[in-house]
Structure 1
C-alpha cells in the first residue's frame, strides 16, 4: 500500500514538473564553450554545427593558430585553434581531447571554417546570463562583445563570430 502511495506521489510530482516545463519558454541564445579555462559565448545565429574531434591535416606556412584543415561532412574546413588565436595558450603541439569540439561558423558568414574549443558548456539564454555590472574598459578587439555573468559568478566573454571572421588577422592564415 505504501508503495502505491509513493508511486502516486512521484507521478504527481512528475506531472507538475512537466506542466511547469511546458509553461516556461526558455530560449537559448548562446553556445557556451571553454578555451584554456576561459568561458566564451557564441551566438546561435553565428555558430552552426558542432563536430567531435577529427584528424586534422596540417597546412605548411600557416600561422600557429591555424590547426589545419578537416573533412567535416564531406566539406573541407579551415580549423582555427581559438585559444591560440586569442593568446590564451601558447602555440605548440595540438592535443585534442575527448571533450574538444569543432564549432563551425554559420554558412551565412561565407567561410568554411571551424573553431577548435576545449569543451562545450551547453546552451544558455539571456535570462541565465545577465550583463556583468563591470564591463572591461579600454581598447578591445571588435569581436569582443560584452561580458556576461552566470549565477555562480563566472564571467563569460561574448565573441562576435561575424566580426572575428571579418578581421584581417583572422583571414590571413599564411606566414
Structure 2
C-alpha cells in the first residue's frame, strides 16, 4: 500500500477507485427488458377498470355545483366549469349500464379529451396508477359484461382480480355516448 501522505489528492482518488473496482461485484445482467403497461385504475360499480395514462387528462373530486342541461338524458348530470371550460358531466355507469352511480366521498370525475370530445366521467372510485407487464395483456378473452364489451380492449389478470382495459376513445365515438339528448 503506497504512502497516502506522499500522494497528491488526485493520485489518492485514483488509488481509491482502483481498490473499489477490485472489490466490486458485477451488476447482474438482465437478459430481457420487460415492457411495462401503465394505466389509471378506477371502479365503475363493482367492476375494476384500467385505461391507458394518455387517455385521461385529469382526475377531480365530484363538483359541488352543476348546471342542469335541459332536454338531456338522466345520465348527463349537468355542466361543470373546470378551469374555465364548460364540460358535460356524464355518469359512466348510468350511460352504459343504466345504473346510477351513488355520489359518495370517493366518487371522482375522470376528465377525458378524446376524438375532439371533452367530458367529465363520474366513476365510483379512482384507485391510482397500475403497472402490468405488457406480455400479461390478454386481448383474446372476451369481456363477460355486455355493457362493457364495446369498450373493452383486453384485460390483465392479477392474483384474484381481472382488470378490463377500457377504451376512452371508443367511448367518445360511440352512439350511446353521443346521443345524450332525449
Question: Structure 2 vs 1, CA of residues 27 and 129 (structure 1 numbering), >3 Å: closer, same or farther?
Answer: closer
Q: Displacement, 1:95? A: 3.8
1:129 and 1:100 mapped to 2: Cα distance?
32
Could you tell me which residue of structure 1 aligns to residue 153 of structure 2?
145
Counterpart CA distance in 1 for 2:135 and 2:91 is 25
Query: Does 155-164 or 138-147 show the bigger shift?
Result: 138-147
- Which has the larger share of strand? 2
**1:83 corresponds to:** 93
Q: TM-score, normalised by structure 2?
A: 0.69
Native 8 Å contact 1:47 1:104 kept in 2: yes
Q: Following superposition, which runs of at least 4 residues in structure 1 exceed 6 angstroms of deviation? A: 137-140
Normalising by structure 1, report the TM-score.
0.72
| Contiguous gaps of at least 5 residues in structure 1 | 1-24
Give the root-mean-square deviation of aligned CA atoms: 2.9
Unaligned runs of 5+ in 2: 1-33
Match of 1:114 among 108, 113, 120: 120
Alignment partner for residue 40 of structure 1, among 46, 49, 52? 49
**By how many angstroms is 1:32 displaced?**
0.3
Q: For residues 21-77 of structure 1, give each alpha carbon's deviation from its aligned partner in whole angstroms, at most 9, with x where no partner exists.
A: xxxx99662100001111011111111111111122221221222121111112100
* Alignment size in residue pairs: 147
Give the C-alpha shift of residue 99 in structure 1. 0.7
d(CA) in 2 for partners of 1:46 and 1:95?
24
Compare CA radii of gyration and give the structure with the larger one. 2
Aligned partners of 1:76 and 1:112 also within 8 Å:
no
